[in-house]
Amino acid sequence: MSLSLLWIPVTLVAAAAQTARNATQRKLTETIGTVGATQVRFLYGFPFALFALGMLRLVSGEMIPGVSSAFFAYVLAGAVSQILATGLMLSAMRQRSFAVVTAYTKTEPVQVALFGLLLLGDRVTPPIALAIVIATAGVLIMSVKPGTDLKNAGLRPVIFGMASGACFALAAIGFRGAILSLEQGSFVMRATTTLAWGLGLQTAILVLWLGIFDRKALISSFRAWRPSLGAGFFGALASQFWFIGFALTTAANVRTLALVEVLMAQLVSHRFMSHATTKRELVGMGLIIVGVGLLLWAQH
């Protein structure tokens, strides 16, 4: 496979791993709360990231890249944005179905394309822009139910889900910026180095926050180490492949193809959480498939 197209299978693996991580985290919110469940993906993912970096260093013989102030600024911005995005997403999931909230967060590709152009100079061709619009329209059709549904459910989960998407968009741009700022190493080494730094910063920030403001949640996250290991592993696995994708192509390409996660989430909801699929959601999923297909066609 051409290296220029390697980001496609990489992104699909990342989307599958993230669906598994989201489902695991959602269950943890019931026992250790939103902030505690947000923290476990970083705390328990960090050792896996360090292990991956160490093994890559050993197997490839590459040196771990040195970091600059620009790298640190980008990775810190990505780390903080992702913490906010995850917390907002889990808060919304406590009030709405897993698939619907995942769909709300996936309004991010349009924002990723805009932020990528403004902050990194990542240009989007007309066919790719059309693909982003079509796929995002599919997400919105899946998400926005008739007015009575929104009235009964309240606007809070909608707002939290949309805000989560915006923060995920900023996180994607921050991490891609960090990867591009590294001057040495293969794309895999630069991606893995950025992942280790990102998860390390996120772990430090959340452990400090919980230690000061919510020690009960911090202690609970340590006690729930068995299920948390699963969330940490799938979180680190997903992030590893997201970052490799960011090293290979624009964040807009990666996050648009990542909309297949909505389809995976719908399958999880239908199979394990007894959420029925409506005709409207089928139309939305069809548009996502069309948009993703156009995106892949535009790569040739």
pLDDT given at position 141: 80
The rounded distance, in Å, linking the Cα atoms of 82 and 129 is: 24
Residue 38 CB neighbours (<10 A): 30
Q: Which residues contact 103 (CB under 8 A, 6 or more apart)?
A: 139, 140, 142, 143, 161, 262, 265, 284
Q: Are the CB atoms for 25 and 98 separated by under 8 Å? A: no
Q: Which amino acid is at 13?
A: V
Q: Which amino acid, residue 221?
A: S
Average pLDDT over residues 156-178: 88
pLDDT in tens, 284-295: 888 888 988 899
Residue 271 is predicted with a pLDDT of 63
The pLDDT value given to residue 77: 97
Q: How many secondary structure helices (H) and strands (E) does the chain include?
A: 14, 0
Predicted pLDDT of residue 220: 84
Most confident stretch, 91-95, 247-251, 274-278: 247-251
Q: How confident is the model at residue 179 (pLDDT cuts 50, 70, 90)?
A: very high
pLDDT in tens, 61-93: 999 999 999 999 999 999 999 888 877 877 777
Q: In this predicted structure, what is the pLDDT of residue 237?
A: 95
Q: In the structure encoding, which two tokens stand for residue 39, read together? A: 């923290």
pTM over 0.75: yes
